[in-house]
Amino acid sequence: MSSMVYTLYGFAIFFMIFWLGMWIVHILALITGRWKLHRKPAQVPSYEVPLPGVSIIKPLMGVDPNLFNNLETFFTMDYPLYEILFCVEDESDPALMLVRKLLEKYPQVDARLFIGGCRVGVNPKINNMHPAYEAAKHELILISDSGIRMKEDTLFDMVRYMTEGVALVHQLPFTCDREGFAAAYEKIYFGTVQSRMYLAADVLRINCHTGMSALLRKAPLDEVGGLKKFGVYLAEDFFYAKSLTDRGWRITVCSQPALQNSGHCEMHSFQARLRRWAKLRVAMLPTTIILEPLTECFVLGACASWAAAVLFEWDSLVFYLVHILLWFMLDWTMLCVVQNSPLPLNKWEFVCGWLLNETTRPYLFLQAVLDPLIQWRSRVYKLKWGGVAEEVKAKVKY
């Protein structure tokens, strides 16, 4: 056999192994979701045993229609000891008015407001949070994005996973039920693609952390310089999680998903988020350029169908169609597991949203690779290999 034939067989074997690996990821995610998500504690929480205090850091910028209600859920949580530290960078930010209303409405809740931030790096979120982080008075820190909506027992759920040896407890990113196709599109993405990788990574102990809702031990962060240590990165969540795991700490997902509830739900803005996340992954892990496209249903299915024809002389079209059908069915099951209640979309909406998700992501990834600049609100950044970011003077498009 010629070297060309050996090369073809080598690629075919690689694609088949990768294809089998992705099915293992599917199964691991489903098992983990069934076993871990939405689990109620064996007994009603008792506050006779002192629970650790939690300092909740809420970085804010701008206002959306759901912001007030989202923030209010942090004032009504059933947890004995916590403080809320609101961070607003600009004194003219309209979010200040909402925060002050809540402070007046709930005077019994320990809450403070920090305005102006402190520049300790290029990351605007770290700069905004730094004064609050330094002033936090509890041993556990909850970093929570502005669009997160909490249930009464969410904080207790996160704290109960903060066992010995664990330094970071995070929530699986998901969404609240909202109206419109764009909302369904987001829910399908977070309930299938994101959940699959997130839950499988939790079992395999791979760092797949996103910082939209993360409970951390402050002491291990302070050992390396605190949050400001990670101000050189835009993906600070990945790097502080990596710092913890590199020193022997564990990270884990709690049972309640993070309920994103932004009042602005638009296709183009969400796709911009997907492109931005892809750019960050490529800069942090360059192998992403090669491997990530192979995790996509249609791309991997095409490669595996060709491999099946080469190795086993199977009908590639039949293989491809069966592959897509099975992937679709497992994604529907995954979404139902994560939702844990009746879905706010019917099966036809799921079909359309799922097809749009699967067909557009390879294109969005290609756009991300070809345009490495990252736009975050009014700022533009350039990423270096390794994830270090620098702010560039570029014209922002609106």
Q: pLDDT tens string for the chain (398 positions)?
A: 577 777 899 999 999 999 999 999 999 999 999 999 998 876 555 555 689 999 999 999 999 999 999 999 999 999 999 999 999 999 999 999 999 999 999 999 999 999 999 999 999 999 999 999 999 999 999 999 999 999 999 999 999 999 999 999 999 999 999 999 999 999 999 999 999 999 999 999 988 888 899 999 999 999 999 999 999 999 999 999 999 999 999 999 999 999 999 988 999 999 999 999 999 888 888 877 888 999 999 999 999 999 999 999 999 999 999 999 999 999 999 999 999 999 999 999 999 999 999 999 999 999 998 888 888 777 888 888 788 888 886 444 43
Rounded Cα–Cα distance for residues 61 and 99 (Å): 12
Cα–Cα distance, 98 to 337 (Å, whole number): 35
Report d(CA 237, CA 245) in Å as an integer: 12
Residue 208 to residue 191: CA distance in whole angstroms:
15
Measure the N-to-C terminal CA separation of the chain; round to a whole number of Å.
57
The total of other beta-carbon atoms located within 10 Å of residue 250's CB is 14
Dihedral over alpha carbons 322, 327, 330, 335 (to 10 degrees): -140
Full-model pTM: 0.93
Instruction: Measure the CA–CA gap between 316 and 195, rounded to whole angstroms.
Output: 29
Which sign, positive or negative, has the C-alpha torsion 118, 124, 129, 133?
A: negative
Q: What angle do CA 85, 280, 221 make, to 5 degrees?
A: 40
Nearest by Cα to 153 from 236, 82, 232: 82
| Bridge partners (DSSP) listed for residue 169 | 215, 252
Query: Residues near 272 by Cβ (< 8 Å), separated by ≥ 6?
Result: 375
The edge-to-edge listing of strands for the beta sheet with 374-376 is 374-376, 379-383, 389-391
CA distance 316 to 303: 10
Q: Any catalytic annotation for residue 93?
A: no
Dihedral pair phi/psi, residue 235, rounded to 5°: -90, 60
Would you state the structure tokens that stand for residue 122, as one six-digit string?
Answer: 């290029």
Give the SS3 label for residue 181. Answer: helix
What is the rounded CA–CA span in Å between residue 298 and residue 191? 18
What is the spatial distance between Cα 298 and Cα 334, in angstroms, rounded to a whole number?
18
Q: Which of 237, 246, 331, 371 is catalytic?
A: 237
